Amino acid sequence: MKRTGSTNPMLKDLIMELKKRSNDQSVSLWKRIALDLEKPTRQRRIVNLSGINRHTKENETIIVPGKVLGSGILNHKLVISAYQFSEQALDKLEKSGAKIVPLLELSKEKPDGKKIRIIG
């Protein structure tokens, strides 16, 4: 059976835009995120807040090329960007004072990709 890729038009547009920004800026970070998002849903990264809390520091900028789940707590502020968030994760992130930024917006804010970590 031949893989057809994502059928979600918003995801396809996001992947295409990230690849374009990677080529325009010569930054491999955005291409890596795009390639991770191209994977089948079952192979995408899934990260709990407890893991994010354990592996990050105050005011750090992170990307999760997949879904953030709400298990655990986050006890410091950070800037986080992900493809998807669970409802519980969004509530807990807002309560902790974290700044949630869409992937495309983050690629506009930091086109060079410096000081950004991929978690998951």
Regions of the chain where pLDDT drops below 70: 1, 3
- What is the H or E stretch that residue 70 is in? none
* Cβ atoms of residues 39 and 83 within 8 Å: no
Cα 3 to Cα 6, 48, 117, distances in angstroms: 9, 29, 29
CATH of 9-118, one of 3.100.10.10, 3.40.190.80, 3.30.750.24, 3.40.50.150: 3.100.10.10
16-43 tens-digit pLDDT: 999 999 999 899 999 999 999 999 989 9
CA nearest neighbour of 38 among 61, 58, 59, 19:
19
Q: Would you call 113 helix, strand, or coil by DSSP?
A: coil
Does the pTM surpass 0.85? The reply is yes
DSSP-derived secondary structure letter, 39: S
